[in-house]
């Protein structure tokens, strides 16, 4: 058992949202381990340093976790808190996701001038997002829209929206809610209109495999969210999903079954489908939906 005198070092990104998310996890741990003392270690990732670069050009998904995982492997931190949607499917040898938080709102949202909904925006309106997944689904909903690449933390994107004269931007509801900024939201997209990224809204707690922390962190694991995200990530893995490939997945547990909705874009066509499966077999559910969408025309 960890000594109550030990300082527990928690690694995270430097943004306001990352720090809030880390405090959420620390709060959950204090319910179980009230004597623990925490030190938050802020780590700048390549994705943070290259804020204006195109994710496709600089390497895709692991950009927001690699430096933090390296600090874990070097023993400089005891565990890390990540946005689950930033986690690549392949985790470095020697590391493990020990816990998954209960999911916040998984939906994407529109922030726009004068709080206009997507339908109310004028023809050829300019919408900011660098996510390929959001871009293709936006164009499927409104083919006339002009999609402008836009990266950075939430404050940066809001500022750039004004600087670039954009009519709106698309963000994750979870981040805005955690920052207490949901009053800015003009419209929530349903998970069918805009299928979220795998893991969107949940937090991943990563540590060294077979360390004392791996067992202890499981105390805060939210099993229904873990099962849902396992199906989503298996779907992503089976289709080779990354930031270079438009793919979305959202699973929920309903009536003792996993309900998984997936989205892929192939040959300019956005394809979506939903499947059901056994709660005890989330990987199989993800694989089955990947086969279904991957085997359709153009697959």
> Quick one: 151 and 115 in the same domain?
yes
Write out the residue range of the structural domain in which residue 25 sits.
Answer: 1-101+202-221
> Quick one: 120 and 265 in the same domain?
no
- Mean pLDDT, rounded, for 246-263: 97
Res 3: pLDDT = 55
Res 80: pLDDT = 98
Res 46: pLDDT = 77
Collapsing DSSP to helix, strand or coil, 61 comes out as helix
Cβ-contact 173, 104 below 8 angstroms? yes
**Strand 79-83 relative to strand 7-12, pairing:** parallel
> Quick one: 236 and 147 in the same domain?
no
Residue 274 lies in a domain: yes
Residue 195 lies in a domain: no
> Quick one: 227 and 248 in the same domain?
yes
The residue behind tokens 């499927």 is 140
CA distances from 184 to 45, 122, 194, 200, 290 (A): 28, 19, 19, 19, 35
Res 297: pLDDT = 45
Examine the pLDDT at 270 and tell me if it is beyond 70.
Answer: yes
Res 152: pLDDT = 86
> Quick one: 122 and 8 in the same domain?
no
Q: Judge whether 78 counts as a catalytic residue.
A: no
> Quick one: 214 and 93 in the same domain?
yes
Q: pLDDT tens-digit profile of 106-119?
A: 999 999 999 999 99
- The pLDDT-based confidence of 296 (bands split at 50, 70, 90) is low
Res 1: pLDDT = 56
Q: pLDDT tens-digit profile of 143-177?
A: 999 999 998 889 999 999 999 999 999 999 999 99
> Quick one: 73 and 128 in the same domain?
no
- The domain total for the chain is 3
Res 299: pLDDT = 41
Domain holding 227: CATH number? Answer: 3.30.160.40
Residue of 263 and 47 predicted with greater confidence: 263
Mean pLDDT of the chain: 92
Cβ-contact 99, 10 below 8 angstroms? no
- The pLDDT-based confidence of 272 (bands split at 50, 70, 90) is very high
Res 267: pLDDT = 82
> Quick one: 6 and 92 in the same domain?
yes
Residue of 146 and 47 predicted with greater confidence: 146
Catalytic hit among 54, 78, 86, 105 = 86
- % of the chain at pLDDT higher than 70: 91
Domain holding 37: CATH number? Answer: 3.40.190.10
Residue 158 lies in a domain: yes
The residue behind tokens 């670039």 is 164
Residue 194 lies in a domain: no
């Amino acid at each position: 058992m960890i000594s109550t005198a030990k300082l527990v070092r928690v690694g995270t990104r430097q943004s306001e949202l990352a720090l809030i998310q880390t405090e959420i996890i620390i709060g959950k741990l204090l319910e179980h381990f009230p004597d623990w003392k925490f030190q938050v270690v802020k780590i700048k990732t390549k994705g943070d340093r290259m804020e204006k670069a195109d994710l496709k050009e600089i390497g895709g998904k692991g950009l927001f976790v690699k430096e933090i995982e390296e600090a874990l492997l070097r023993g400089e931190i005891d565990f890390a808190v990540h946005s689950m949607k930033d986690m690549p499917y392949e985790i470095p040898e020697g590391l493990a996701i020990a816990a998954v938080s209960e999911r916040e709102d998984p939906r994407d949202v529109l922030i726009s001038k004068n709080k206009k909904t997507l339908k109310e925006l004028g023809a050829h309106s300019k919408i900011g997002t660098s996510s390929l997944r959001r871009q293709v689904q936006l164009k499927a909903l409104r083919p006339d829209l002009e999609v402008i690449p836009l990266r950075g933390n939430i404050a940066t994107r809001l500022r750039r929206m004004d600087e670039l004269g954009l009519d709106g931007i698309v963000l994750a509801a979870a981040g805005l809610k955690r920052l207490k900024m949901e009053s800015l939201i003009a419209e929530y997209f349903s998970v069918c209109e805009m299928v979220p990224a795998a893991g969107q809204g949940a937090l991943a707690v990563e540590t060294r495999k077979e360390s004392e922390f791996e067992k202890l962190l499981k105390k805060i694991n939210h099993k229904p969210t873990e099962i849902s995200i396992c199906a989503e990530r298996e779907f992503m893995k089976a289709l080779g999903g990354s930031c270079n490939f438009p793919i979305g997945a959202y699973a929920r547990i309903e009536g003792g079954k996993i309900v998984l909705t997936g989205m892929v874009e192939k040959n300019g066509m956005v394809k979506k489908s939903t499947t059901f499966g056994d709660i005890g077999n989330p990987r199989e559910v993800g694989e089955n939906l990947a086969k279904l969408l991957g085997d359709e025309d153009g697959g």
